[in-house]
Amino acid sequence: MAQLHSIRERQEEPVSRASSIAKGALFLIIGLAVLLHQIPETRYLMPDWLFGVHSLVILLGIYKGIKTNFRSISWLVLVIIGTMIGAHHFDIANSHTIFLYGIPLGLIALGLFIIFNKR
């Protein structure tokens, strides 16, 4: 029984203090942004395009990255997807162009990363 207990202890990784601070800061910033957006006098500080599905996907990616100490690639995939969804709010490039070239280039980059990733 003691051996089983020691195996469980090795499997559980302690949560680092820096990771906890980063996660807490992320939620603090989100809460402040939503609060500023809800108050009529400060609504101009938070643009409407900031509160959309794309922002949620990007924030989930950042949260996942913090949680895994940015070791896996899944956080980057979420951030890229959120960025592509929200690209229509900016005049940087046409959304059609981004989807036409961005998705294939992203898949190529992902494939190269998987091939050459040293674990």
Give the pLDDT confidence score for residue 40 in this predicted structure.
87
Identify whether residues 35 and 64 lie together within a single domain: no
pLDDT digits (tens, 9 = 90+) for 2-30: 555 555 554 555 667 777 888 788 889 88
Identify whether residues 33 and 12 lie together within a single domain: yes
Identify whether residues 70 and 31 lie together within a single domain: no
Q: What is the dihedral of CA 13, 18, 20, 23, to 10 degrees?
A: -120
Identify whether residues 43 and 87 lie together within a single domain: no
Full residue range of the structural domain in which residue 30 is found: 1-47
CB 37 within 8 A of CB 30: no
CB 22 within 8 A of CB 66: yes
Alpha helices in the chain (DSSP H): 2-11, 17-38, 53-67, 74-86, 95-97, 103-116
Identify whether residues 65 and 36 lie together within a single domain: no
pTM of the model: 0.60
Identify whether residues 35 and 80 lie together within a single domain: no
Mean pLDDT (the chain, rounded): 78
Amino acid at 96: H
Give the pLDDT confidence score for residue 116 in this predicted structure.
79
Q: How many domains does the chain have?
A: 2
Identify whether residues 1 and 34 lie together within a single domain: yes
